[in-house]
Amino acid sequence: MVRDGYLYGLTLLAVAAAVYFLTGAGAWALIPVLLAAFFLWFFRDPRRTIPQGEGLIVSPADGKLTSIEHVITPSGESLRLSIFLSVFNVHVNRSPISGTLREVRYQKGEFLNAMNPESAAKNEQNLAVVESDDGHEVSFKQIAGLLARRIVFRPKAGDRVERGERIGMIKFGSRVDVLMPSYAELRVKIGDNVKGGSTILAHIPDMVAEPMLAELEVETLV
């Protein structure tokens, strides 16, 4: 359970108790009780089994994969996967890979529907760039949705993060974009429901072994 769940839940239960004792109307007290139950459920934080293996990229969020496309970024061509989180999904976010957090950039903005393509540029958002130990960069962007009004991100630039580690959350409906190298081998497709920290989105192949092998073959022929 995320701490916010206890905060909202217990506060609303206290309100329900006050309403009942002051008015004696159980029907009116039921409203804050139901809201308390919703917040306790919404801020759940289930344990996840983190996949082990070299080069794996796991989902940073729970939700439905709505888009897979090639995009041009300042560092070159990348694959971008978009995950839509409804109000019914777990909203705790996790790191997609292990590595060093090279950049964290927060941007204030609007609160367009997260399904709107313009939300990726205009909405409140937080970008995090992680560099793996073997030099691959994977970034993920927390994008606030129509209902979301706060993005939480705990680590700071320079911190070490581990694959599947809890790093923050987006409150209520939202979206998370993941950018990975264009040569990553996808393990998911549009329409898939993914789980943060446990669903493998892609695998980054060993791009170093092949050139080294080619050099050895050339040396042998010479």
What amino acid positions are annotated as catalytic residues? 174
| Number of CB atoms found within 10 A of residue 195's CB | 17
Q: Residue 48, CB half-sphere, CA atoms under 13 Å: how many?
A: 26
Cα-based distances in Å from 165 to 108, 112, 140, 190, 221: 25, 28, 14, 25, 47
Beta-carbon contacts of 143 under 8 Å, excluding residues fewer than 6 positions away, are 114, 119, 120, 123, 124, 125, 170, 174, 175, 176, 177
DSSP-H helix ranges across 114-221: 119-122, 209-221
E-assigned strand segments in 29-112: 56-58, 63-73, 76-85, 92-94, 99-107
Answer for the pair 196, 60: CB distance below 8 angstroms, yes or no: yes
E-assigned strand segments in 132-214: 137-144, 151-153, 160-161, 166-170, 174-181, 185-186, 193-194, 200-203
